[in-house]
Structure 1
Amino acid sequence: MAVRRLQRPVAGGASDTGLRDALIVAGLTVLALALRSARLDFQPLWWDEGYSVWFAHQPLAEMLRLTALDIHPPLYYALLGGWSQLFGLAPVALRLFSVVAGVVAIPLIYVAGRALGGRRAGLLAAGLLAINPLHVFYSQEVRMYGLVVVWSILAVLAAARWLGIGGTDRASGGWLAVYVTAVTLALYTQYYTAFLAAGL
């Protein structure tokens, strides 16, 4: 009589994969930080950066009035003003605000990529963004582009979760609230994200 051999399940397989992914994402985040924080003092603030700093230090009412006439909305300038109050007006200190936004985008895009296409897609997205030259460049500028990437990734993630894209069950209205918040923040940072919202 044939005896069926029972295969013992490998203990902790899923948790081992999760730990490995977490370590990879942590490594990519450290790499992103190293790339984005290198040579932040390579040159003085240039025209657009100086424009950002000037806007950021206007009184709030004046900032709102001026940005109503400008091509960029006020949120980034308001946040930059608060940041500079804490960390000063040196070029390195000002550029660090964009560095932080650029680094935060790495684990966030991993989560979004995983929600949309699985763990490999998430890791690939995080790896590509970590070394993307254009993203590194804009993560070193005193401009709003690094921050708007964070809001945009968050909006994509929230839309995927709410709609149940990527094999996940359709989530509750909480993710819809996250999506609306992320899109609103993105629009108050960069008007062109209206195209992203329309596409989603």
Structure 2
Amino acid sequence: MSVRRYAVLLLLLAFAVRLAWLPQQSLWWDEGISLHLATIPIPDLLADRLNNIHPPLYFLLLKGWSQLVGVGVFNGRYFSTLASLLQVATLYAAASRWFGRSDRRVWTAVLLLIISPLGILYAQEMRVYALLPAVYLGLLGVAQQIASRPPRRWLPWAALGLLEWLALHLHYVVAFGVVYVNLWLLWCLWPQRQALRRWLEVSVVTGAATLPWYGAVVWNLTAVRNYLQVGTHTTDPIPVPALIGQVWGFMLTGRPAAFGREFIWWGLLLAALLLAALLLWRLWQPATRQTSLALLLAWLLPLLSAFVLWSVRSFSHPRYVIIYAIVLWPLLAQAVWGDTNAPPHPPLPTPRALTIPLLLLLTALSLWGTGRYFFDPAIAKDDVRGAAAYLETVAQPGDLIVVPDTDWSLPFEYDGVAQIVMPGLDSGTVPWASWAGWTRPGQMVYVLDYALGTLDWQQTVPFLLESAGTLQTEQAFHKVVVRGYRLEHEVVQPEMGG
């Protein structure tokens, strides 16, 4: 069978795995925000992102996609499925450039990505994280092409600038990767003045093209800084060993708390030790040193951005550094096989006592993480869909449903007759006029809340409703609870005694 047919078969396999049970899990908070932004006018979308930690490009792309195929959970997640498939294709192209088209390191890296829980999980989530690794791989591939033989034509240089611009408008954490790629190019091109001048021109043009958005962000920096500090008073800084373990476990299993299970802890530790031993073996040999070091730096140096992120927001999720996990797969393939055709001195044989256990461990950890994602109900997303189905049966015309501020998941899952509102507490004060207009005597008000935490930590909404009525029902779902209140009168601002 030809190389091209193998590549097509692998793409089909990756597509099938990522498409499996795509709409099975409920829409969750962040996905609700994505769908909401995809349905509002572009000026409102841009204004919203100016006050947030995520730039607007992904949401603009999702908006265009939704206008093309329709707004919905499946359609929105399918966009991420296609982005994850682009990861596989980009890794195949980049690894073929690094290793040679038919090299077994290419197939090893691609297969590891296909079964990677990260690749599968974020292929089924309506967020930017499936798209980021493909962009970083594209940057590395174009940079490697320029560094190895600086082109006279403008096309590769234009591709570099375009990819940098796209990356910087998809997620701010990409800036670490863009800085790394440009420092590496600066190092490689320094002796070649003409190529260095081209690189400088591209950097200036790209910087100018990013200035409109980033200038607006700097102008609005106070609001962004306030957003970054939300919740930091309730968390302690994460210890460095715990951070390293969390990120490593997340890359191999897709679970941030994978180290919490003892047998997984030992598996992750052994995988790290085996990889470290193999990398030392490759770095020690001249025939495999250059490729191994280049991949190690492309993976590890931008990954150190995790320490910057967690120093700002200690409760950040490891998915913020998912963009750099993609380089782990060709690095692992290089560690396992080495440069089999490296002249003039072929590398020493690889110790199978290291490579076989490592490959088996990686496969087992990937299957464990993927299996938990698909089949373990304990880690399923919050069952907002179940709550929506319940509310469709009990809420009547004229009733009210209250969801947390900025939580758009229920409005996209609910198909009933009751009005859905947000309490408006994010401004720090109660909008009494709005509450008086929403509520009336005899009305049922249903409140959606989360079992593992709530933004209404002062319990303002229960206070308002119990001041105007009584708690009648409470229905629990997976990580979600719905409470029903019967009102005796509308919610009004209490009079302050003298």
**1:198 aligned residue (179, 187, 191):** 179
**2:38 aligned residue (37, 51, 56):** 56
The higher relative CO (CA closer than 8 Å, separation ≥ 6) is in 1
Identity of aligned residues (%): 34
Q: Does 1:154 align with 2:138?
A: yes
In 2: Cα distance, 1:111 partner to 1:171 partner: 19
Paired residues for 1:181-196 under 5 Å:
181-196=162-177
Q: Does 1:143 align with 2:124?
A: no
After superposition, what is the alpha-carbon deviation per residue over 1:128-147, rounded to whole angstroms, capped at 9, x for unaligned?
A: 21221111101110000111
> Cα offset for 1:38?
0.5
After superposition, what is the alpha-carbon deviation per residue over 1:39-91, rounded to whole angstroms, capped at 9, x for unaligned?
A: 01112211110011111222111111111111101011011111111222221
Q: Does 1:133 align with 2:117?
A: yes
Corresponding residue number in structure 2 for 1:26: 8
**Contact 1:21–1:123 (CA<8 Å) still a contact in 2?**
no
Match for 1:58: what amino acid? I
Match for 1:73: what amino acid? P
Corresponding residue number in structure 1 for 2:85: 103
In 2: Cα distance, 1:53 partner to 1:174 partner: 35
Paired residues for 1:37-76 under 5 Å:
37-76=19-58
Structure with the higher fraction of residues in helix conformation: 1
In 2: Cα distance, 1:37 partner to 1:174 partner: 34
| Counterparts in 2 of 1:87 and 1:73: CA distance versus 1, 3 Å | same
In 2: Cα distance, 1:94 partner to 1:44 partner: 13
Q: Does 1:176 align with 2:160?
A: no
For the pair shown, which has the larger CA radius of gyration, 1 or 2?
A: 2
Structure 1 residues without counterparts, runs of 5 or longer: 1-18
> Cα offset for 1:123?
2.6
Match for 2:37: what amino acid? F
| Counterparts in 2 of 1:180 and 1:124: CA distance versus 1, 3 Å | farther
| Counterparts in 2 of 1:170 and 1:124: CA distance versus 1, 3 Å | farther
| Counterparts in 2 of 1:44 and 1:88: CA distance versus 1, 3 Å | farther
Structure with the higher fraction of residues in strand conformation: 2
Provide the aligned C-alpha RMSD in A. Answer: 1.5
In 1: Cα distance, 2:84 partner to 2:150 partner: 29
In 1: Cα distance, 2:167 partner to 2:4 partner: 27
In 2: Cα distance, 1:75 partner to 1:51 partner: 14
**Contact 1:25–1:126 (CA<8 Å) still a contact in 2?**
no
After superposition, what is the alpha-carbon deviation per residue over 1:108-158, rounded to whole angstroms, capped at 9, x for unaligned?
A: 111111212223233332222122111110111000011112211111111
TM-score scaled by structure 2? Answer: 0.35
After superposition, what is the alpha-carbon deviation per residue over 1:140-182, rounded to whole angstroms, capped at 9, x for unaligned?
A: 1000011112211111111111111xxxx33344212111111
Deviates more, 1:19-28 or 1:37-46: 19-28
**Contact 1:40–1:91 (CA<8 Å) still a contact in 2?**
no
In 1: Cα distance, 2:23 partner to 2:107 partner: 31
> Cα offset for 1:93?
1.2
In 2: Cα distance, 1:128 partner to 1:199 partner: 25
Structure 2 residues without counterparts, runs of 5 or longer: 182-498
In 2: Cα distance, 1:96 partner to 1:81 partner: 13
Q: Does 1:77 align with 2:59?
A: yes
TM-score scaled by structure 1? Answer: 0.83
SS in 2 for 1:171: coil
